[in-house]
Amino acid sequence: MIPDLLQIVNTSLLSGVFPQAIKTAVIKPLLKKRTLDTSVMNNYRPISNLPILSKIIEKAVFQQLNNYLIINGCFDVFQSGFRPHHSTETALVKVLNDIHSNTDSGKISVLVLLDLSAAFDTVDHNILLDRLENWVGLSGTTLKWFKSYLNERDYFVSIGDCTSERMKMTSGVPQGSILGPLLFNIYMLPLAQIMENNEICYHSYADDTHIYITISPGDYNPIHTLSRCIEQINDWMCQSFLQLNKDKTEIMFLDPRKNGLKSLLSYSL
């Protein structure tokens, strides 16, 4: 059994082809809470189930790709999502420490909370392959394998004994996959460059990004920089087929002359 699995994995990697037979996802709706109304579609969360062989091959690729990214310094240093030894805590500690330092210095902090809508589902495959080639440095058979992995996928919905027709998946990273979160991090790499070019502090966890600036009393130039940065982020997101979640995107002010953090408004780009 194990030798057969090894042969399948090695054949896939050496040929640059991900087997077509294991590209189908079974989507099963799961009620978010038992107390919710079962007749309301929004009360369900779609759970994607992939073949076990798919995950075995992905695991082998994940380990090699993750090590490659670490060795070559490809990770965004301020991205805490889906990285070894990183978590929501590392993101929170970094942001809070910077804000507390600003407060102790008598400066105002402006914090922008960016949240994306269905970000994993809107990833454009051609753009992702471009990231893998030009931002990460993959080529040849390796790049061919990722193209094969992403293309010609499909899915169907299963509820009890009923199943839907198969539908093509033309965008997004495979939900429920091992490689999906890592590929999403790679897709988001240019976002860090926008922050750095504008000299804006930030920290991300997956598709949640906090950007923040410091304002000295009477100096409002950082506000103009922040505004320009947000415009550039908006342009980049449009080009990358990403969309902000308007309900969860906010601007917040922390003024040491006043007690506490004040949410000024929901920010819509």
Collapsing DSSP states into helix, strand and coil, what is residue 199?
coil
Q: Percentages helix, strand, coil for the chain, rounded to the nearest 5? A: 45, 25, 35
The pLDDT tens digits for 61-71 are 999 999 999 99
Q: Total structural domains in the chain?
A: 1
Give the per-residue pLDDT at 89: 80
**Residues 102 and 108 sit within 8 Å (Cβ to Cβ):** yes
CA-to-CA distance for 244 and 160, rounded, in angstroms? Answer: 35
Mean pLDDT value across residues 148-156 = 96
* Integer angstrom CA distances of residue 85 from 79, 80, 89, 90, 241: 12, 9, 10, 9, 30
- Copy the structure tokens of residue 130: 């471009």
Instruction: State the Cα torsion 29-32-33-37 to the nearest 10°.
Output: -60
Could you report the per-residue pLDDT of 95-114, keeping only the tens digit for each?
Answer: 888 888 888 888 888 889 89
* pLDDT at residue 10 in the model: 94
Flag whether 203 is in a domain: yes
**Residue 190, pLDDT above cutoff 90:** yes
- Identify whether 234 is part of a domain: yes
Q: Is residue 164 part of a domain?
A: yes
CA distance linking residue 124 with residue 147, whole number of Å: 12
Residue 260 lies in a domain: no
Span 235-250, average pLDDT: 88
The pLDDT of residue 266 is 41
Residue 235: name the closest of 202, 198, 265, 184 by CA: 198
Nearest to 33, CA basis, from 18, 44, 19, 24: 44
What is the average pLDDT score of the chain? 89
What is the structure's pLDDT at 98? 84
Residue 138 to residue 211: CA distance in whole angstroms: 30
Of 48, 50, 44, 84, give the one whose Cα is nearest residue 65: 84
In a domain, 264, yes or no: no
C-alpha to C-alpha distance for 212 and 234, rounded to whole angstroms:
16
Residue range(s) defining the domain that contains residue 212: 1-254
Global pTM value: 0.87
Phi and psi for 4 in degrees, rounded to 5?
A: -65, -40
What pLDDT does residue 194 have? 96
Q: Which residue has the higher pLDDT, 213 or 92?
A: 213
pLDDT band, residue 163 (cuts 50/70/90) = very high
Asked, for residue 231, whether it belongs to a domain, the answer is: yes
Q: Please give the pLDDT value at position 218.
A: 78
Query: How much is the pLDDT for 258?
Result: 65
Question: Given a cut of 60, is residue 172 above it in pLDDT?
Answer: yes
Pairing verdict, β 153-159 and 24-31: parallel
* Both tokens assigned to 121: 């589902």
Buried b (16+ CB within 10 A) or exposed e, 7-36: eebeebbeebebbeebbbbebeeeeeeeee
**pLDDT at 78 (0 to 100):** 85
- Tally of residues, the chain: 269
Q: Is residue 267 part of a domain?
A: no
Instruction: Assign 240 a pLDDT band (cuts: 50, 70, 90).
Output: very high
Q: What is the pLDDT of residues 21-62, one digit of tens each?
A: 999 999 999 999 988 888 888 899 889 999 999 999 999 999
pLDDT at position 25 is: 96
Classified as helix, coil or strand, 79 is strand
- What per-residue confidence (pLDDT) applies to 2? 66
Does residue 32 sit within a domain? Answer: yes
